[in-house]
Homo-oligomer: A and B are copies of this chain.
């Protein structure tokens, strides 16, 4: 299942605020992006049809919840990006991001700690 650029905008809001009423999704996304309410409704409809969102009626209101996990979608989009730009290789992508990203000391520490874990796991596997 492919989520388009504009659909990511909608999904990111719903992942972070689930469950959420349609009115809130429509108002917030329309305002933040300069889109009309009709545009947001189309996207909600397409995402439901794709199986990315579920909707349920609550009186006169409708409520949206994600029907797919964000981390699964992130993984798929990341894979697609790596395949397209880096021939599927993560290392050059990592190098690119480390080079170009503005990282705080805290960020650097966190990433370093994860790399340490990575190395320890490699050594464990070799053992």
Contacts and interface: CB of A to CB of B under 8 A. Distances in A.
Interface of A: 5, 8, 12, 74-75, 77-78, 80-81, 84-87, 90-91, 93-105, 107-108, 110-112, 114-115, 118-119, 122
A51 B66 CA distance: 40
B75 A85 contact: no
Contacts of A103: 90-91, 94, 115, 118, 122
Nearest to A110: B95
Given A97-B90, A101-B91, A78 B74 contact: no
A94 B75 contact: no
A112 B115 CA distance: 8
19 contacts: A5-B80, A8-B84, A12-B87, A74-B86, A90-B97, A90-B100, A91-B103, A91-B111, A94-B101, A94-B107, A94-B111, A95-B110, A99-B114, A103-B115, A103-B118, A105-B119, A108-B118, A108-B119, A115-B115
A96 B81 contact: no
Contacts of A102: 90
